[in-house]
Structure 1
Amino acid sequence: MDTVALTWAVGRRIPRRVADLVARIVAPAAALMSLPAVDAWAESVEIATGRAPTPRQRRLLLQAWIRNNLWSLSLARWSTDEVLATVAVDDVDVARLRDSLAGPGLVAALPHMGSWDFAGAWASRMGMSVVSVAERLPRGLYERFSEARRGMGIDIYPVDQPDVVRLLTDDVHAGRLVCLLADRDLSSRGVLVPWPGSGRDVAVARGPAHVALRSGADLRVVTTHFDGPRLRIEVSEPVEGESVEELMAGVARVFADAVSRHPESWLMLRRVFR
């Protein structure tokens, strides 16, 4: 059995409490190591927030990264009760999702924060039909992740799927919740927008704005961050704008606010800014 298959076979069987314990044990030691990916995160956080992350935040970042990955591997096996009990979300945020789904439709733009897979699994367990897009990873990883996400209740298109915008538009019109990661451009066809307070631009995916404009749906930002043993989900008001650039600049403003408040949950282990 190769390393990928072994990791998948073991990880999908690790219960949440064990995953959280592993994260708490491993993160302090890992935080003391020189890790280029974490150094890149620290540089991005300092530009994004104007503050260098503390050693504690570096440790919490690694703890969050481990938790997110182990949770994602095992989520298909979680009971509905366990999923719902692990989420902290205000009634107003749930109402925002349901109002848009009952009205013009909804496209949710998400950053790589907290556990975005978990947000989709939670929405599915709440009775929402969820669809998303993922990059086509090598070595069978795309197929494994797609299968795992189907187990969570999330349908996945590959990012190179022909007519993917049309398919997502059809999903919006069918009342499905379209969730798209957007703080990193996967296609090289993204849009440069200002990151508030940094004086720098960031390349974000244009997909959320494109699908929202084409379908007439509301565009909201959904962010998640680890809050003790639970995952908190926050939902923005609809982002306003008449063009892809205006809408994605508005999305970036919500991302920036979330990252400023919870930089240790921003799992962007790479340099982000131009």
Structure 2
Amino acid sequence: MRERVADALYGLGWSAVKKLPEPVVARLGRRIADTAWKRRGASVQRLEANLARVVPEAGPAQLRELSKAGMRSYMRYWMESFRLPTWTPDRIREGIEIKGEHHLHDGLAQGRGVIVALPHLANWDLAGAWVTSYLQVPFATVAERLKPESLFDRFVAYRESLGMEVLPHNGGAAFGVLARRLRSGGLICLVADRDLSASGVKVDFFGAAARMPAGPALLAQQTGAQLLPVTLWYEGPVMKGEVHPPVPVPAEGTRKEKATRMTQDLADVFAAGIAEHPTDWHMLQRLWLDDLEPRDPRPEERAA
């Protein structure tokens, strides 16, 4: 029943919100965010706990203000996303400013393929729409499997309407397709600050251990593609972003050692961007290892 209700609500959002004037949508988003924040549900409490790691000097009152602003930013993401399929290319370009885009142009010009890796900051779907409408470059991405299947299908259709090729996250099944896209000189974009497989790379993130997906680093090693970290944030009515310099593949080490080093480099760039704009980090899930639910150890951990 919960899954059917969620599917119906998302469907209502995509069908109804896009028909409303933007000022009305903005007010609606703030009202929903403030209502959710006042209820102090599990997601709001988790967001606040995550922000406590990002802003360790913040006291209880400041954390509450940060989480309130964070919920407003999160609902802004959803309100924009519901309206994005109706935005013209000019409207998309007006809503985003990107610094360092020459890194993206340079990587594509070399024909080696480019991997864009970014955290859950601001509106990554708007950044993708900017790539397909402004740069006019198609790209592939991976979507988390959602339940019910109809809700997952809605998300796939939504992102495909923005010009993205969407692959389902089914273990490592998408890896080969992404590698082929890169070898042909293409672009892929991956949200890479949360490991969905429980088999990612352990990194130091704000002074504590977390796991992040190894896929971006492994793809860069295997295909020779450039790995570009990207951070995003809201600034008034505009979303801003920065394409950071490429993460190099280490000259020495095993494949795993190289992937660990590269993923830590990504995590460091992500952490710097999140620390500058903590309320735009939409992480309402558990991330750090000591926050995760207990699980059975992996075979290599049992052996150790």
TM-score (normalised: structure 1): 0.91
| CA RMSD across the alignment | 1.9
Out of 6, 23, 36, the position equivalent to 2:42 is 36
Residues 161 and 102 from structure 1, CA distance in 2 versus in 1: closer, same or farther, beyond 3 angstroms? farther
Retained in 2: the 8 A contact 1:112–1:268?
A: yes
Matched residues in 2 for 1:141 and 1:132: separation? 17
Residues 37 and 98 from structure 1, CA distance in 2 versus in 1: closer, same or farther, beyond 3 angstroms? same
The answer to whether the aligner puts 1:270 opposite 2:279 as a matched pair is no
Give the partner amino acid of 1:210. Answer: L
Unaligned runs of 5+ in 2: 251-257, 290-304
Structure 1 residue runs of 4 or more that deviate by more than 4 Å after TM superposition: none
In the alignment, which residue of structure 2 is the partner of 1:181? 191
Residues 39 and 114 from structure 1, CA distance in 2 versus in 1: closer, same or farther, beyond 3 angstroms? same
Matched residues in 1 for 2:128 and 2:23: separation? 20
In the alignment, which residue of structure 2 is the partner of 1:201? 209
In the alignment, which residue of structure 2 is the partner of 1:115? 123
Residues 73 and 241 from structure 1, CA distance in 2 versus in 1: closer, same or farther, beyond 3 angstroms? same
Return the offset for 1:213: 1.1
Out of 190, 211, 215, the position equivalent to 2:219 is 211
Retained in 2: the 8 A contact 1:108–1:221?
A: yes
In the alignment, which residue of structure 2 is the partner of 1:255? 270
Matched residues in 1 for 2:44 and 2:191: separation? 20
Matched residues in 1 for 2:218 and 2:154: separation? 28
Give 1:43-54 correspondences, 5 Å limit.
43-52=49-58, 53-54=62-63
Return the offset for 1:48: 3.0
In the alignment, which residue of structure 1 is the partner of 2:33? 27
Return the offset for 1:14: 4.3
In the alignment, which residue of structure 1 is the partner of 2:301? none
The answer to whether the aligner puts 1:83 opposite 2:92 as a matched pair is yes
Return the offset for 1:174: 2.6
Retained in 1: the 8 A contact 2:14–2:83?
A: no
Q: Alpha-carbon deviations, 1:3-26, whole Å to 9, x = none?
A: 243344224444544332222334
Give the partner amino acid of 1:110. Answer: L
Unaligned runs of 5+ in 1: none
In the alignment, which residue of structure 2 is the partner of 1:138? 147
How many residue pairs match? The answer is 270
Matched residues in 2 for 1:14 and 1:150: separation? 23
Give the partner amino acid of 2:203. Answer: V
Answer with 1 or 2: which has the greater Rg: 2
Matched residues in 2 for 1:74 and 1:167: separation? 30
Give aligned-pair identity as a percent.
Answer: 30
Give the partner amino acid of 1:145. Answer: F
